[in-house]
Structure 1
């Protein structure tokens, strides 16, 4: 499923927030408690998204002018990769990651890291990311993964 990938604009913040929170509640809820999901949601309000957009390169994926996914690049760290559950498994996340990797290579990076959720570990592994270690933020477990880029 081909989609348009572009850099996010401030006017996208509410839609990005909705995608992230909806995905957390539907997809990530299978691997994390409601308490952890509620805590993580606080970091993705529209106002928080606007703040993140000043610190990172935030990308969005659009289908028929509607945002269906987002991902961001913070130096050499991939962050906040979320695909609307209705569109998961259709290659949109892969297209976003291709844009992220191209941007990282253009910035002269030769390695990408990602703090993966339990839910997304298989996705990143399928893209060539290798598990480095587990990380815990209170009771929230993430998997630190990395990938060497073909420069």
Structure 2
């Protein structure tokens, strides 16, 4: 079962949307109410993904040419890291994050930031990110985290 990390193409938008929505409904639903999940899902329709692809560097992980995970980099901010529920726990999220880190290093970015869900906080901690603060968007809690890429 070979996997590949690559830049997303416009043809990937529907698959990216599907991965994100499946992950929200399966994984994030453990930490957020159905109303919050439904609200967040609206930001990840195929049309919204196409718009985001024009604003960020979007990467996908594929297995047998099927998109099973995604992550993006918006300058120094990691965004939208999601792995389909059927493929969680096999290292695809870590591989995507390593790719984003390499891109950030090449761009001379000193600090990576991520607005983490409650669900993903432990994942980012394992990668060396540290919590900076909590933010609330209505009832939705987001944990702002950062990782220093270069020494002070």
Q: Cα 1:2–1:124, aligned 2, differ >3 Å: closer, same or farther?
A: farther
Equivalence map 1:9-48=2 (5 Å): 9-48=9-48
Equivalence map 1:68-147=2 (5 Å): 68-147=68-147
TM-score, structure 1 as length reference: 0.98
Aligned partner of 1:60 in structure 2 is 60
Give, in angstroms, the shift of residue 39 of structure 1: 0.2
Gaps of at least 5 residues in structure 1 are none
Give, in angstroms, the shift of residue 88 of structure 1: 0.7
Q: Which runs of 4+ in 1 moved over 6 A?
A: none
Q: Cα 1:2–1:110, aligned 2, differ >3 Å: closer, same or farther?
A: farther
Q: Distance in 2 between matches of 1:2 and 1:125?
A: 27
Contact preservation (8 Å) 2:55, 2:74: yes
CA deviations over 1:62-86 (Å, ceiling 9, x no partner):
0111110000000000000000011
- Aligned pairs, how many? 151
Give, in angstroms, the shift of residue 3 of structure 1: 2.0
Contact preservation (8 Å) 2:2, 2:64: no
Gaps of at least 5 residues in structure 2 are none
TM-score, structure 2 as length reference: 0.97
Give, in angstroms, the shift of residue 2 of structure 1: 5.6
